[in-house]
Chain A
């Protein structure tokens, strides 16, 4: 598949990436008082959760010197940059500049937070005004997220199925049924959030995690990008 077709396919899955919710991470992977990297099409994020449990998605770039905020740390209700300690609140506003302790930071200094919500154990982020709520994966619960270095076409070929209108792709590997909520990443790779039936046991979830590993091996072997590498 050439790159133009690939872009079209992913665009087809995310027709209005600018005003659509993208599943960026599992809620359990961003526990209280932590920060982790995340991605929207063309935009790096710092996903973070305050000590009190408030989730936020900032642009992954400190407005001071450009350091990735995902390398920073969460103390209390604020995200701090690892470089010079500029701290940002849940609304994105800068609340503290350690080198100027008596100054109230101007409102223009902002970490550019995006719209974010949690539903079904998944953190959803939207770069502008979402027109509708994120899809409801009723009856499914997330197990893990993994990066697959393959095109959507290779994933669909490996699954012998196509992603549905919710961005959900189902596959059966050695008798284990998994669903994957897909999100675009930079380059020829996708982020797959693996989901299983809500009544799955711990053993079922481990089996689903292993099935996802096997699925990734299949999809990457089928991907023209990995064959060329």
Chain B
């Protein structure tokens, strides 16, 4: 599978993260999103006229929506990441995939405004982003009250991966994560998963490995 990728894009990171967690190898094709604006150039517009990344190619499959890419990778390699096949879990996953686009439109737009000076009503974006975070916090709190660590069931699904990156990077858009204890512990559970990978701004849990030891002098 070939991913048209930008290292600072949370949507591209969703795809890299799920692929790493389920052991799918991606061929990365770096895109000069900023400052080059390569995603709006002729080569990429031919693949995605919307002028957006990520883009995923696999033989005759061409996908331009990150949620669809998560479904595709999980279906191919790790169907347990799609829930148990029940109406309840399947629909709840779809619910969070749709919700994740609100996170992109609010937290993500606030981040683009603050980091890349994109135009926008920053107060309105931050306020709408905070509202989305409050909804996520309430849902995760209810899960915790039922002893469930993740958004849909007691193991991670693509719902968690779809929502995680824009939430984790909300402070880049001037939106604090400090008021949300359940979001804090949920992020921690995702970062503790085996084969978790980082992106700039989202680091691994250093404490999961022993403290580094200084090599002996002259070694």
Contacts and interface: CB of A to CB of B under 8 A. Distances in A.
A223 interface: no
Interface in A1-56: 25-26, 28-29, 31, 33-34, 36-37
B207 A75 contact: yes
Given A34-B188, A205-B145, A213 B207 contact: no
Interface in B43-101: none
A29 B211 contact: no
B141 interface: yes
B214 A101 contact: yes
Contacts of B138: 209-210, 213
B182 A144 contact: yes
Given A34-B188, A36-B181, A147-B179, A202 B145 contact: yes
A33 to B, nearest CB: 6
B207 A33 contact: yes
B185 interface: yes
Contacts of B188: 34
Contacts of B178: 37, 70
Contact of B181 (A26, A73, A98): A26
B205 interface: yes
Contacts of A80: 206-207
A143 B145 CA distance: 8
Interface in B149-199: 178-179, 181-182, 184-185, 188
Given A146-B179, A206-B142, A74 B185 contact: no
Interface string A193-218: 00000000010011001100100000
Contact of B207 (A28, A73, A146): A73
Contacts of B205: 73
Contact of A202 (B137, B141, B146, B185): B146
B124 to A, nearest CB: 11
Contact of B185 (A31, A70, A146, A209): A31
Question: SS class of chain B's interface: helix, strand, loop or mixed?
Answer: helix
A143 B141 CA distance: 9
A25 B145 CA distance: 16
B99 to A, nearest CB: 16
Interface string B197-209: 0000001011100
Interface residues of A, number: 28
Interface in B2-42: none
A145 interface: yes
B181 A25 contact: yes
Contact of A206 (B134, B145, B181): B145
A98 B213 CA distance: 9
A118 B179 CA distance: 20
A208 to B, nearest CB: 9
A205 B145 CA distance: 7
Nearest to A102: B214
A185 to B, nearest CB: 9
Contacts of A75: 206-207, 211
A73 B210 CA distance: 12
Interface in A78-103: 80, 82, 98, 101
Contacts of A146: 137, 179
Contacts of B146: 202, 206
Given A34-B188, A36-B184, A73 B206 contact: yes
Nearest to A204: B145
Interface of A: 25-26, 28-29, 31, 33-34, 36-37, 70, 73-75, 80, 82, 98, 101, 143-147, 202, 205-206, 209-210, 213
24 contacts: A26-B181, A29-B182, A29-B184, A29-B185, A33-B207, A34-B185, A36-B181, A70-B178, A73-B205, A73-B207, A74-B207, A75-B206, A75-B211, A82-B203, A143-B145, A144-B141, A145-B181, A146-B137, A206-B146, A209-B138, A209-B141, A210-B138, A213-B134, A213-B138
Given A98-B212, A206-B145, 8 more contacts: A26-B181, A29-B184, A36-B181, A37-B178, A70-B178, A80-B206, A146-B179, A210-B138
